[in-house]
Amino acid sequence: MLGINIYSAIKAEYDKRQKAAYDALEQRKSIVYEKIPRLREIDEEIQTLGLKYNKKILLTSGSKELLISDFNFRIGSLKEEKIQLLEEAGFPKDYLEPVYQCSQCKDTGFISTQKGDIKCACYKQQLINLLYSQSNLKLAEFENFSTFNENYYPDVVDEQKYGIKKSPRRQILGIKEDCLKFIENFRSPDTKNLFFCGPAGVGKTFMTNCIAVELLNRGITVLYQPAPVLFNTINEYKLRSLKDDTYQDAGYKSIYDVELLIIDDLGTESPSAARYADFLTLLSTRQANDFSKPCKTIISTNIDIKKMYEYYDERIVSRIIGYFDIYKFAGEDIRKLKILMEK
């Protein structure tokens, strides 16, 4: 079971966010109240009206519709005056509204629905980030489509050198376009998973980070796992569950359920028949889940798809070929190019 400290940490984070939003709002209020004293009066009137009409509604035994209608009219008039005063003074009309990190749940972690409160996507992502502190998705702050630069890729055709029939630059631009389509159609079961292959340093991890940050901004939960860590997590769960059939692990479960799973450096894990069976189960389970909810996978590897048969059995390779769009990255080692350019 997950330790209570993890959930306490998440709650503490939301409390911190709400306090930050409240403190920032109070600072903005002090600014506008000094410049426009009438705004303080309006806020006090709105608060007084709320208390007054709540009491009237509770004490009224007959129809409450007229009271509610009158209350809404008076509050609406005050809010309109408030917006007008703000805009006349050069402030945005929502300047006195709290600003939350997550507009969906207002930094509570939960969204109210007709069926009850449900966990917000930002809550799920916090849980994943705490469970997998090694996720390394912080790179997405610097590696995203706004920093994408096709000029790192040669604009020459050399099939013998790069292993593709077009220039690396044209190749990467095509990959980028398809990745943007993957993002736009992420929730569709018809959208295939992505398989990135190619030598080290040609932008595979960069591209997965670009996709990750775009989907995170849309409320999609993302989990990044290097292949060795992923398989160690599965193996550890299997060993512990054999000793305790009631053992549960949310980290292990998220590997199968997270909306986007990124498996980096496939092929660097220790080879074994058990691990290949685990891999096949993982791919099959996530593919089945994708029919009812988004459950996509991105695999990145230095192994060319044509050589996958040398590392994995036919069932795994067949699964990848059938359920993944395969993209070959090519070009020079960008990390070395950057070092040369800095010098």
Strands (E), the chain: 110-113, 116-119, 193-197, 222-226, 260-266, 296-301, 324-328
> Quick check: is 102 in a domain?
yes
Q: Are residues 249 and 142 in the same domain?
A: yes
On whether the CB atoms of residues 176 and 148 are closer than 8 A, the answer is yes
Number of structural domains in the chain: 2
Q: Is 84 helix (H, G, I), strand (E, B) or coil?
A: helix
Find the domain containing 92 and state its range.
Answer: 4-117
Per-residue DSSP letter, 191: S
H helices then E strands: how many in the chain?
Answer: 12, 7
Q: Are residues 185 and 45 in the same domain?
A: no
Residue 269 structure tokens: 């894990």
On whether the CB atoms of residues 85 and 38 are closer than 8 A, the answer is yes
Q: Are residues 106 and 144 in the same domain?
A: no
> Quick check: is 295 in a domain?
yes
HEC string for 126-147: HHHHHHCHHHCHHHHHCCCHHH
Would you call 197 exposed, middle or buried from its count of C-beta atoms within 10 A (0-12, 13-18, 19+)? buried
> Quick check: is 123 in a domain?
no
Q: Are residues 146 and 45 in the same domain?
A: no
Nearest of 335, 333, 339, 337 to residue 162 by alpha carbon:
333
> Quick check: is 107 in a domain?
yes
> Quick check: is 214 in a domain?
yes
Q: Are residues 112 and 36 in the same domain?
A: yes
Q: What is the rounded distance in angstroms from the CA atom of residue 17 to the CA atom of residue 65? A: 37
Would you call 135 exposed, middle or buried from its count of C-beta atoms within 10 A (0-12, 13-18, 19+)? buried
Q: What is the rounded distance in angstroms from the CA atom of residue 57 to the CA atom of residue 70? A: 11
On whether the CB atoms of residues 109 and 14 are closer than 8 A, the answer is yes
The identity of residue 14, as a single letter, is Y
On whether the CB atoms of residues 286 and 279 are closer than 8 A, the answer is no
Domain final residue pick, 117, 142, 164: 117
Domain final residue pick, 76, 93, 117: 117
Q: Is 160 helix (H, G, I), strand (E, B) or coil?
A: helix
Q: Are residues 110 and 156 in the same domain?
A: no
Q: Are residues 190 and 302 in the same domain?
A: yes
Q: Are residues 67 and 196 in the same domain?
A: no
Residue 340: CB atoms within 10 Å? 9
Q: What is the rounded distance in angstroms from the CA atom of residue 36 to the CA atom of residue 43? A: 12
Q: What is the rounded distance in angstroms from the CA atom of residue 299 to the CA atom of residue 327? A: 10
Q: Are residues 335 and 305 in the same domain?
A: yes
Q: Are residues 99 and 18 in the same domain?
A: yes
Which pLDDT belongs to residue 168?
96
Q: Are residues 18 and 146 in the same domain?
A: no
Residue 143 structure tokens: 């590696």
User: pLDDT tens-digit profile of 191-233?
Assistant: 999 999 999 999 999 999 999 888 887 878 888 889 998 999 8
Torsions phi, psi for 249 (to 5 deg): -145, 110
On whether the CB atoms of residues 109 and 119 are closer than 8 A, the answer is yes
Which pLDDT belongs to residue 216?
81
> Quick check: is 125 in a domain?
no
Q: Are residues 166 and 300 in the same domain?
A: yes
Q: In which residue ranges of the chain is pLDDT below 70?
A: 1-6, 62, 131-141, 245-248, 341-343
> Quick check: is 126 in a domain?
no
Pairing of strands 324-328, 296-301: unpaired
- pTM across the whole model: 0.68
Domain final residue pick, 64, 90, 117: 117
Tell me which residue has tokens 């920032």. Answer: 24
Q: What is the rounded distance in angstroms from the CA atom of residue 13 to the CA atom of residue 296? A: 28
> Quick check: is 91 in a domain?
yes
In angstroms and rounded to an integer, the radius of gyration of the C-alpha atoms of the chain is 27
